[in-house]
Amino acid sequence: MPDPIRVVQYGLGPIGQSTVQTVLDKAASEQIQLVGAIDIDPEKVGRDVADLVGRDTPTGVTVRADADAVLADTTPDVVLHTTTSFLDRMSDQLVQCAEAGAHVVSSTEELSFPYDRHPALAQQLDQAAKENGVVIVGTGVNPGYAMDTLALMATGVCVDVSEVHVQRVVDASERRKPLQEKVGAGITEAAFAEKKATGTFGHIGLRESLLLLADGLGWALDDIEETLQPMVAERVVETPFLTVQAGEVAGIHHAITGYKTGEPALTLDLKMYVGADDPRDAVQVEGDPPIDLVIKNGIFGDTATVGALVNTVPLALEAKPGLRTMKDLPVPRAFATSALAAHA
Amino acid sequence: MPDPIRVVQYGLGPIGQSTVQTVLDKAASEQIQLVGAIDIDPEKVGRDVADLVGRDTPTGVTVRADADAVLADTTPDVVLHTTTSFLDRMSDQLVQCAEAGAHVVSSTEELSFPYDRHPALAQQLDQAAKENGVVIVGTGVNPGYAMDTLALMATGVCVDVSEVHVQRVVDASERRKPLQEKVGAGITEAAFAEKKATGTFGHIGLRESLLLLADGLGWALDDIEETLQPMVAERVVETPFLTVQAGEVAGIHHAITGYKTGEPALTLDLKMYVGADDPRDAVQVEGDPPIDLVIKNGIFGDTATVGALVNTVPLALEAKPGLRTMKDLPVPRAFATSALAAHA
């Protein structure tokens, strides 16, 4: 068996802590090993990551704020990067990892298809990655899988495709409290309109998913139309964290359409709300053959984002150096699964 | 736009003729171009491929029997290879293509995961591919997609997986006549038993799909169990080609199970019969999160095999040289689709 993949965790917010848990769970497989942890939060610096994530057995990996020092001391194969959703706030962190010779798998939503929103940064990152012989890639459940890579995969046996329609319906009732708040559950329609006007409300990455899908199909879109509307509760919805009255906002309906020669060729329709009917991930391919794919009950996002990140670690090692997207990597698959070993 | 990918079609049976049709359909995209055609059938040699596949406009590509000469004259980027299901009958053809500097995408079922049944041949092919800087890969709808690559993809966001169960139910009524005959529709159970005893009956590639899936998950199986049973008609089934009486064979039920630590960790269950109820492709992942994926009505195989082959052409160019399987290539996606261009 090859040596374990040496991983540094960069960013120890909720997602970073979850990826640490998963990497530590998988360490018994001897296929992956946590060798370093980076965060600037004074509450976290100096603590063993085991302590930080609530595990009893110390790992010997201490959270440090000096990223350069951690990267130099630990020489990771791959950095799992989970610091922010926005690329322009942290592209220097990605370059820093690349210059340390480490591949980067990042949860940064804008990195899942950075060429449109940040073309200059994308070029810099591609250059830094190529010069250092590493891969930089952004992924997660959405963007990164449910509404883009899975949709591409659904077209994989079609001799022709004219349209692709993707739906994701998430019952936010089952998700953590910050997500319920993030989608506006329990606020008024007026408050929703105010939040929307700030321009920072809604799901991050829908445009990136659309463009990743279009790029994978080789389609140049003429026009893109994006809408964000409230899902309004028709009845009282109670979750473990809050109550939404009928007529209040239950969540978001965020949709984007890509047009080709005047036709809505690609549609991505995302509903995240408490009390959702028929949660699912669905892809309809109008093509030859047509494909009508459904993941019943949908993909549980809190776990799946962590899965997407950790499962991409070995795939990044296989891809050509440079800034890459999920369409450039080998087919996603679960990595270093432990459950059956536990049967023994 | 880069130059079109130069393709030679090697083998002009029913599948080869269909891939030719699809490549010719896609030529307008200027992303792919048919530059040569190889077949040893005297009925086909010397004819323009357009004539062979029933198109009016000559292509200028004439079917020739001398593969070496075609490869030398046309210098293809990729050979689409569709001559037989069995690797030991034609591995020299693959080496021949590799030595001509061409990547190979083959419909040979045994090539989809050749390491188990033909380890020595696999090593020779890998060496030939690497020496010549090309990729050799086997694909199709099944094996190659429905029961292996799609199942791997379904695990792509799981932090853990304990079991994967794959079902494919095909209504053979809707398929071509040879397929209905191939699955034994209309024969007696006694005749089925006789065919089964020959060892060449049933679906080819189920074991390859199982091993590809296990390999992608990094699972070493302790044991493999394969069964082949008739699906017996409970009522009269009429197809455009034949009638099956109640009590006669309607088709096959071919299943394979991979065991890990004594548990049935992977199951692939294939039913192909006339009058099938609820045709579908389904993947259930027992994992975290669990995934319950269904392609309603299933993937129409006659077209999808051709789609899998042609869509793999550009992906082979992106992979590392060597003998590869679908798990090593970038995520499958439709290539050079024309339908929306036709809207213009």
Cβ of A260 within 8 Å of Cβ of B328? The answer is: no
- Which tens digits make up the pLDDT trace of A260-296? 989 999 999 999 999 999 999 999 999 999 999 999 9
Contact B221/A at CB under 8 A: no
Burial of B240 (0-12, 13-18, 19+ CB in 10 A): exposed
- Alpha-carbon distance of B241 to A5, in angstroms, equals 56
Cβ of A327 within 8 Å of Cβ of B332? The answer is: no
pLDDT band, residue A344 (cuts 50/70/90): very low
Q: A100 and A187 in one domain?
A: no
pLDDT band, residue A343 (cuts 50/70/90): very low
- Which tens digits make up the pLDDT trace of B301-340? 989 999 999 999 999 999 999 999 999 999 999 999 975 4
Q: From A287, which residue of chain B is nearest by alpha-carbon distance?
A: B339
Residue A261 in any domain: the answer is yes
Q: Residue A177: pLDDT above 90?
A: no
- Tell me which chain A residues have a C-beta less than 8 angstroms from the C-beta of B27: none
Q: Provide the CATH number for the domain around residue B32.
A: 3.40.50.720
- Alpha-carbon distance of A239 to A249, in angstroms, equals 14
Q: Residue B52: pLDDT above 90?
A: yes
- Alpha-carbon distance of B230 to B251, in angstroms, equals 6
Q: Which of residues 276-335 of B touch A (CB under 8 A)?
A: 286-289, 291-297, 299-300, 303-308, 310-311, 318, 320, 326-335
Contact B167/A at CB under 8 A: no
> Of B19, B107, B158, which to mutate for an interface test with A (greatest number of A Cβ within 10 Å)?
B158
Residues ≥6 apart with Cβ < 8 Å to B165: B266, B267, B269, B283, B284, B286
Minimum distance, in Å, between the CA of residue B196 and any CA atom of chain A: 30
Q: Any bridge partners for residue B6, and if so which?
A: B33
**Which two structure tokens, joined as six digits, stand for A332?**
């996603």
Structural domain for A191, as ranges = 149-298
pLDDT at B2: 84
Contact A90, A84 (CB under 8 A): yes
Q: From A343, which residue of chain B is nearest by alpha-carbon distance?
A: B261
Q: Provide the CATH number for the domain around residue B171.
A: 3.30.360
- Alpha-carbon distance of A339 to A317, in angstroms, equals 24
The overall pTM is greater than 0.95: yes
**Which two structure tokens, joined as six digits, stand for A323?**
């800034």
Last residue of a domain, one of B298, B317, B332: B298
Q: B173 and B65 in one domain?
A: no
C-alpha count within 13 angstroms, C-beta hemisphere, residue B90: 21
- Tell me which chain B residues have a C-beta less than 8 angstroms from the C-beta of A288: 303, 307
Minimum distance, in Å, between the CA of residue B125 and any CA atom of chain A: 20
Contact B306, B334 (CB under 8 A): no
Contact A337/B at CB under 8 A: yes
The H-or-E segment that residue B224 falls in is strand B223-232
**Which ranges of A155-251 would DSSP assign to H, the alpha helix?**
177-182, 189-197, 206-217
pLDDT at B342: 43
Q: Residue B85: pLDDT above 90?
A: no
Q: A212 and A104 in one domain?
A: no
Q: A313 and A263 in one domain?
A: no
Cβ of A343 within 8 Å of Cβ of B260? The answer is: yes
Neighbour-count burial for B86-109, b at 16+ CB within 10 Å, e otherwise: bbeebbebbbbbbebebbbbbbbb
Name the domain count of chain A: 2
Residue A144 in any domain: the answer is no
Whether the CA torsion B143, B145, B150, B152 is positive or negative: it is: positive
- Alpha-carbon distance of A341 to A65, in angstroms, equals 36
Torsion of CA B105, B111, B114, B119, to 10 degrees: -80
Q: A161 and A114 in one domain?
A: no
**Which two structure tokens, joined as six digits, stand for B181?**
């005959």
Minimum distance, in Å, between the CA of residue A138 and any CA atom of chain B: 14
> Of A1, A15, A105, A157, which to mutate for an interface test with B (greatest number of B Cβ within 10 Å)?
A157
Minimum distance, in Å, between the CA of residue B33 and any CA atom of chain A: 15
pLDDT at B268: 98
Residue A58 in any domain: the answer is yes
- Which tens digits make up the pLDDT trace of B270-305? 999 999 999 999 999 999 999 999 999 999 998 999
Contact A42/B at CB under 8 A: no
Q: A240 and A129 in one domain?
A: no
Minimum distance, in Å, between the CA of residue B132 and any CA atom of chain A: 19
Residue A273 in any domain: the answer is yes
